[in-house]
Amino acid sequence: MIYKIGDVVEGRIIDFTHEGNGVLKTDDFIIFVKEALIGDKVKVKIDKVKKNYGVATLVEILEESKDRIDEPIDLTESRGGIPLIDYKYSEQLKWKTNKVKMDLKRIGGLKDVKVKDMIGMKTPFRYRNHTQIPVGQVKGKPIIGFYEKGSRYIIDMEGSILQSKIGDRIISIIRKWMKEYNIPIYNRRNRKGILRHIGIRTNYKDEAMVILVTGSNHLPYKSELIQSLREENIISIYQNINKSRSSMTYGKKYKKLDGEDTLLDYIEDYKFKISPNSFFQVNRRQAEILYNKAKEYLDLNKEDIVYDLYSGIGTISLCIANQVKKVYGIEVVEEATEDAEINAKLNNVKNVEFITGKAEEIFPEIIEKNRRANKIILDPPRKGVEKEVLEAITELEPDTVVYVSCNSSTMARDVKDLVDKRYKVVEVQPVDMFPHTAHVESIILMTYCG
């Protein structure tokens, strides 16, 4: 059966896409539907037809999934960024664990892998320590909130269920200031106006850094805003200037307006100074669980030499350094390596070396030069690792490879390659870093079979 735009189709949602949209399957055709959950029987209207799939709008839920939560959470924010919010958390965890299993089976060809149940959060709310909130305007009224998924429409919100409560209060202070002083919203088309985004970062003791993203250097009524923000536990205020037309939140230039240069956070006993532009694990509590698993899998001892590929600001390298002889971190973003070096000093760690460059270029070169190591941990971005990295791993033949992944499909592809080259998968542990979204994080232990 071939569908056309405008057709109305009925059926049951059987899966989620990686964006958290519902997947409806009819007559061997797959249709993606926003705001529909697994188990829902739905009526949808087709908006787009491609060769292998279609996209549709939800018209009506004919029969609700038994896995919808009993009392929908009252939200003032868009459900777009948290598509699974109405799906029972226990079912979210089951779906994510199963996704890892299925990807390893379908993409990796690995049937009997031990995939443990995903480690979830006891309270899966307010876990994000960094939010970037767009500012817009509807009928002359300032709107602060998230975009509806895939659109330019911003939903006005009082706060977000994923960020710390101080973040909600910051939004209300800024909204009040905007109204009082008539602060114009930035318009990307004509490049007029002031405020574009609000960045909020928080740390372990709920101190906040506020980043006001503006379209030019001009920021009127600054001192009035700083004064009202000071009523909260805000230790640092920055202005970020973003003149570009792109949808990237932050521009290159940061100007400190008040307070400290950095926010201090911890992962276990290790301190990290976080600049406004530094990457830091968004869910600190779950990151600790993940890193502990990494340590357990690496089974470290004082003779070990470890490569930490895709090392970012050095969080994994620093957490394992005192148990081993030497760690090498490889990371492409220069500022991240600089942060990693600062963090090493801050924690008095001396046996790590951070190298800036692409893993697929630097790592094979190093192996070529015969710099040996017996263990590897890698934490690549969504697209997984390049084949040069996999080749260099098999060239090096470390006894242990620990792969941290935020995308189980590319992980399954890469793991298959290593299995073909005499590695065996010992165990996989998914850890929920992003409750209410369809993002799946997992860690996998592989050993060399000889």
Q: Which residues are catalytic?
A: 406
Q: What is the signed CA dihedral for 411, 414, 420, 423, rounded to 10 degrees?
A: -70
Using the structure block, give the residue that is written with the tokens 């030497």.
326
* Interface with ligand SAH: number of residues (CB under 6 A): 18
Contact 299, 447 (CB under 8 A): no
The answer to whether 292 contacts ligand SAH (rule: CB under 6 A) is no
Kindly list the distances between the CA atom of residue 132 and the CA atoms of 138, 423, 430, 435, in Å, as whole numbers in the listed order.
Answer: 19, 41, 26, 18
Alpha carbons 442 and 99: distance in angstroms, whole number: 11
Contacting ligand SAH (CB under 6 A), which of 310, 328, 434, 448? 310
Contacting ligand SAH (CB under 6 A), which of 262, 311, 347, 429? 311
Smallest separation, CB 185 to ligand SAH (Å): 31
Smallest separation, CB 143 to ligand SAH (Å): 32
The answer to whether 327 contacts ligand SAH (rule: CB under 6 A) is no
The answer to whether 152 contacts ligand SAH (rule: CB under 6 A) is no
The answer to whether 103 contacts ligand SAH (rule: CB under 6 A) is no
- Pairing status of strand 263-267 against strand 253-259: unpaired
Smallest separation, CB 308 to ligand SAH (Å): 7
The residues pairing with 87 across neighbouring beta strands, listed in sequence order, are: 68
| Length of the chain in terms of residues written | 450
Contacting ligand SAH (CB under 6 A), which of 381, 420, 422, 424? 381
Span near ligand SAH by CB under 6 A; candidates 54-62, 152-160, 187-195, 353-361? 353-361
What does 62-114 look like in DSSP terms, one character per residue? EE--TTB-SS----SS-STT-TTTTB-HHHHHHHHHHHHHHHHHHTT---S--
Contacting ligand SAH (CB under 6 A), which of 91, 103, 339, 379? 379
- Name the residue among 252, 263, 244, 162 with its Cα closest to residue 196: 244
| Residue with smaller CB distance to ligand SAH, 87 or 354 | 354
The answer to whether 336 contacts ligand SAH (rule: CB under 6 A) is yes
| Residue with smaller CB distance to ligand SAH, 63 or 334 | 334
The answer to whether 279 contacts ligand SAH (rule: CB under 6 A) is yes
Q: Residue 250 is which amino acid? A: Y
Contacting ligand SAH (CB under 6 A), which of 65, 97, 281, 337? 281
The answer to whether 163 contacts ligand SAH (rule: CB under 6 A) is no
Alpha carbons 50 and 149: distance in angstroms, whole number: 20
Q: Is the dihedral of CA 366, 368, 370, 372 positive or negative?
A: positive
Smallest separation, CB 267 to ligand SAH (Å): 9
The answer to whether 358 contacts ligand SAH (rule: CB under 6 A) is yes
The answer to whether 349 contacts ligand SAH (rule: CB under 6 A) is no
**Interacting residues with ligand SAH (CB under 6 A):** 279, 281, 310-313, 315-316, 330-333, 336, 358-360, 379, 381
